[in-house]
Amino acid sequence: MVRPLVITNEMRGRGEHWQMDVRAKRQAWIDVRAWGATGDGVTFDTRAIQHALEMAADVPSPVYLPAGVYRLDEPLAGHSGLEIVGDPWRTTLVQAENDAAILDVRTGADVGPVTLRGLMLRATGEGCYGVRGEAADWYLTGLRASECSFYADLAHGVVGKLALCTFNRCFFGHHGVAGDSFQPVWAGNIDGARYAFSNVFRDCKFVRAKSCDGAVQLGTGHATEFENCIWEAITVPAIHARGMTSILLLNPTFEAINPSSGENCIMDIADDGLGGNRYVRVRWIGGRCSQAAGMTDAVAFCDAGSHVEIENAILNVQGYITERAGPQYDRNASVSLCQLIGYAGTAFRSEERGLAGVLNLRGVFPLRIPAVAAEPGFPQEHNLYMDDGTNRGDRVRGWRYYDGTAFRDLGHSGGRATHSYGGGTATWELTEKEADASLFWVTAAGGAAVASFPTVRPGKNFTVYNGSGHAITFRVGAAGGEVATNAKYSIWTMTSTNCAKIYEQP
């Protein structure tokens, strides 16, 4: 096979000789125009291109499509070792037949490698595929697509049981006409007998995926990697994975993801249900996520065994990090060194996998919040950091969070209440105004005492610092309540009946 030309510094100094070398290389390519293809956007060029592909099967050489628009009225049949080269962003293949692929590599056996470079794949027919290679018992191995565009009226970009495939600088997009569907990539098993594995997407963009399970749908398999990829303006989850045991995201960007049906999330991940407990593990490093305003569920919807690990990312999250059936929030997430903006999720629970590295304006402090007796049925702000008061000017230490607009004390109303118990005072009856506070700073007491809220406020969060020298019980009315230990900070929430202590510093 003729290898791609490598330009060296020496060759750059011999411009004329280099141009002659390029021409010599292209003379070894199979030019579809020599077989009657026109690329005029009017004539059907299917048979001329197919003849060129068949010649390439007998005499292995790249098939070259010069700049132009090549109309097809049936699929092009591919084969192992096929290489199709176009002029990047200037060579277009258009499928006019309904439910047909532009390139069909379903040969009845394992096929590959197949190389596509510099092609724009489009369709005027309905239900069309860019590259079609799905089958029950064989792989599409070593598909290498670079500088290709899968766009405009395709129903599917690439479909197949993919293995060892790479996509570099590819665009998967749709014109966004209402009522159409578009799935950029489906990679995985058909029958559970063989798995997709070791596929890589670099510098790719997925736009306007709609009416499918996910922009990138991954079936049973192993090791899918996305590097510097962008998902934007799609109405389905960006990634739908069933039994894909490991997914690596390096510097991803998720922008305006707002699924219109099903799970309202960026990633929908779970075991494939075929046995073997092939749970999904996602490792996400760097990048950013900005959910659409209407997206309120989670970054990832998981089953009990799957897990999402995120570090060094900017997360503008309207709902939770992870969610699964029932009030199970953020139990399948590990988040560290991240900036959380607008997060309204629950505090992480330690009885499962939840662990956060809390971002502080003055540094990073690990935080693990222990289990509570029951999962609260309301959200709790968790974009927490410990502030020594310098950012507020009052020198009061306490937990704070960012609500998307400003940094606030932990709680819904802001503000703080300070109280000094006089000698022998046993109960501090909070007024309604004092109860609005989110930070309770107890400075002194004549002995063990009680801070009593006048009414229950389900969902209220607040921070307590007990510096009184004695145990202080926080409760609602005459209920039992819980004790704030002397000389410690603690985080509290209010259930439907009473105060509940979520966390107390060691």
Q: Is the pLDDT of residue 13 over 50?
A: no
Asked if 235 and 290 sit in the same domain, the reply is yes
Asked if 80 and 215 sit in the same domain, the reply is no
Q: Does residue 198 lie within any of the structural domains?
A: no
Q: Which of 380, 412, 416, 384 lies closest to 399, judged by CA?
A: 384
H or E stretch including 56? helix 46-58
Around Cβ 353, how many Cβ atoms within 10 Å?
18
52: left (phi over 0), alpha (psi -120 to 50) or beta: alpha
Which H, E and C letters describe 420-465, residue by residue? ECCCCCCEEECCHHHHCCCEEEEEECCCCEEEEECCCCCCCEEEEE
Average pLDDT over residues 245-262: 87
Asked if 150 and 280 sit in the same domain, the reply is no
Q: Is 130 exposed, middle or buried (0-12, 13-18, 19+ CB in 10 A)?
A: buried
Can the peptide bond before residue 113 be classed as cis, meaning omega within 30 degrees of 0? yes
DSSP-derived 3-state class of residue 386:
strand
Angle at 358 between CA 357 and CA 363, to 5 degrees: 105
| pLDDT value, residue 109 | 81
Backbone angles phi and psi of 191, in degrees to 5 = -125, 5
Q: Does residue 378 lie within any of the structural domains?
A: no
Which H, E and C letters describe 259-300, residue by residue? CCCCCCEEEEEECCCCCCCCCCEEEEECCEEECCCCCCCEEE
Alpha carbon distance 3, 25 (integer Å): 9
Alpha carbon distance 332, 250 (integer Å): 20
Asked if 51 and 152 sit in the same domain, the reply is yes
Query: Which domain range does residue 9 map to?
Result: 1-172
| pLDDT value, residue 469 | 81
Question: Could you tell me the CATH number of the domain that includes residue 450?
Answer: 2.60.120
Angle at 493 between CA 491 and CA 499, to 5 degrees: 105
| Long-range contacts from 449-455, C-beta under 8 angstroms, 24+ separation | 449/421, 449/425, 449/473, 450/426, 450/474, 450/475, 450/481, 451/419, 451/427, 451/475, 452/427, 452/428, 452/476, 452/477, 452/478, 453/477, 453/494, 453/499, 454/429, 454/430
User: pLDDT category, 262, cuts 50, 70, 90?
Assistant: low
Q: Match 């799905």 to its residue by tokens.
A: 134
Asked if 123 and 217 sit in the same domain, the reply is no
First CA to last CA distance, the chain: 67
pLDDT tens for each residue of 43-53:
999 999 999 99
User: pLDDT category, 227, cuts 50, 70, 90?
Assistant: very high
Average pLDDT over residues 290-315: 78
Alpha carbon distance 223, 202 (integer Å): 14
Domain boundary (172, 196, 216) is at 172
Average pLDDT over residues 245-266: 86
| pLDDT value, residue 88 | 94
Domain boundary (311, 345, 379) is at 345
Number of domains in the chain: 3
Asked if 163 and 34 sit in the same domain, the reply is yes
Q: Does residue 399 lie within any of the structural domains?
A: no
- Alpha helix locations (H) across 181-263? none
Q: Which of 168, 159, 30, 149 lies closest to 94, judged by CA?
A: 149
Give the rounded percent of residues in the chain with a pLDDT score beyond 90: 32
- The string over 72-98, giving b where at least 16 C-beta atoms fall within 10 Å of a residue's C-beta and e elsewhere, is beebbbbeebbbbbbbbeebbbbbebe
| pLDDT value, residue 153 | 85
Backbone angles phi and psi of 434, in degrees to 5 = -65, -35
Chain centroid offset of residue 202 CA: 15
Q: Does residue 356 lie within any of the structural domains?
A: no
Q: Does residue 184 lie within any of the structural domains?
A: no
Q: Does residue 35 lie within any of the structural domains?
A: yes
Asked if 12 and 159 sit in the same domain, the reply is yes
Q: Is the pTM of this model over 0.85?
A: no
Asked if 165 and 218 sit in the same domain, the reply is no
Question: Could you tell me the CATH number of the domain that includes residue 20?
Answer: 2.160.20.10
Q: Which of 261, 260, 252 lies closest to 286, judged by CA?
A: 252
Higher pLDDT, 208 or 325: 208
Q: Does residue 363 lie within any of the structural domains?
A: no
Least confident of 6-10, 109-113, 406-410, 465-469: 6-10
Which residues share a beta bridge with 451?
A: 428, 474
Asked if 338 and 429 sit in the same domain, the reply is no
Residues in the chain: 506
pLDDT tens for each residue of 376-408:
332 333 333 333 333 333 333 344 444 444 444
Strands (E), 175-264: 183-187, 196-202, 205-207, 216-218, 221-227, 230-234, 239-242, 246-250, 253-257
Q: Does residue 377 lie within any of the structural domains?
A: no
Q: Match 């001329």 to its residue by tokens.
A: 48
Residue 286 near residue 312, CB atoms below 8 Å: yes
Q: What's the CA dihedral at 486, 488, 494, 495 to 10 degrees?
A: -80
Average pLDDT over residues 189-217: 83
Average pLDDT value for the chain: 75
Backbone angles phi and psi of 159, in degrees to 5 = -130, 130
Asked if 114 and 214 sit in the same domain, the reply is no
Asked if 147 and 81 sit in the same domain, the reply is yes
Residue 76 near residue 49, CB atoms below 8 Å: yes
Residue 195 near residue 223, CB atoms below 8 Å: no
Higher pLDDT, 419 or 480: 480
Asked if 270 and 340 sit in the same domain, the reply is yes
Alpha carbon distance 427, 439 (integer Å): 18
Which residues share a beta bridge with 122?
A: 94
Domain boundary (345, 368, 398) is at 345
- What six digits make up the tokens of 273? 């249900």
